[in-house]
């Protein structure tokens, strides 16, 4: 079994839309949308710029279809780590849950380094990753 995860297009589009909607707050603070609380143009336009920059970031990320994480017969790959780590270098797997976050932390044998894969915003979740680990290294699967 192979696990391959990419950025989730629906989630990224939702985040882009949320950031664009959040810019309404900036328009209100800048005085474009009238309120009784006063006007702070520099702060308001700063909020608008930041919200639209984040919206653009999430919208552009939908075009990135590169594999961000993989677990297959060769081992575990995480894009930021940059290389595939063979199964024999992996000592343990811990699944962390914090709110909506689902993170797989692989502890390596050499020096206690770890590789983390946050599956929260990927198109395949933590269960798929754990199933792939179970298929290749059943001794590591936490549940």
Phi, psi angle pair for 41, to nearest 5°: -55, -45
Residue 130 tokens, joined: 């754990």
Average the pLDDT over 13-42 and give the result. Answer: 88
pLDDT (average), residues 59-71: 96
Strand order in the sheet with 114-118: 90-98, 101-108, 114-118
Q: What pLDDT does residue 106 have?
A: 96
Q: Which residues of 95-107 are buried (b: 16+ CB within 10 A; e: fewer)?
A: beeeeeebebebe
pLDDT tier for residue 120 given thresholds of 50, 70 and 90: very high
**Is the pLDDT higher at 36 or at 108?**
108
Confidence of residue 49 (pLDDT cuts 50, 70, 90): very high
DSSP state of 68: -
Share of the chain above pLDDT 70, in %: 99
Domain boundaries, the chain: 7-61, 69-136
Q: Is the dihedral of CA 109, 112, 113, 117 positive or negative?
A: positive
Query: Is residue 125 scored above 90 in pLDDT?
Result: yes
The confidence score (pLDDT) of residue 90 equals: 95
Smallest Cα–Cα separation from 137: which of 82, 63, 79, 86? 86
pLDDT band at 76 (very low <50, low <70, confident <90, very high): very high
The answer to whether residue 69 scores a pLDDT higher than 80 is yes
Contact 33, 27 (CB under 8 A): yes
Residues 2/16, Cβ–Cβ less than 8 Å: no
Could you tell me which residues are beta bridge partners of residue 118? Answer: 103
């Amino acid at each position: 079994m192979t696990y391959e995860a990419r950025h989730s297009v629906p989630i990224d589009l939702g985040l882009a839309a949320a950031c664009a909607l959040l810019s309404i707050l900036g328009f209100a603070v800048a005085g474009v949308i009238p309120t009784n609380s006063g006007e702070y143009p520099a702060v308001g336009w700063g909020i608008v710029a930041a919200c639209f920059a984040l919206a653009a970031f999430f919208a552009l990320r939908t075009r990135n279809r590169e594999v961000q994480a993989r677990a297959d017969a060769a081992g575990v790959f995480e894009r930021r780590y940059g290389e595939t780590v063979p199964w024999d270098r992996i000592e343990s797997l811990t699944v962390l849950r914090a709110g909506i976050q689902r993170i797989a932390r692989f502890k390596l044998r050499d020096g206690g380094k770890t590789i983390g894969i946050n599956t929260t915003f990927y198109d395949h979740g933590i269960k798929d990753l754990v199933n792939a680990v179970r298929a290749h290294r059943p001794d590591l699967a936490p549940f």
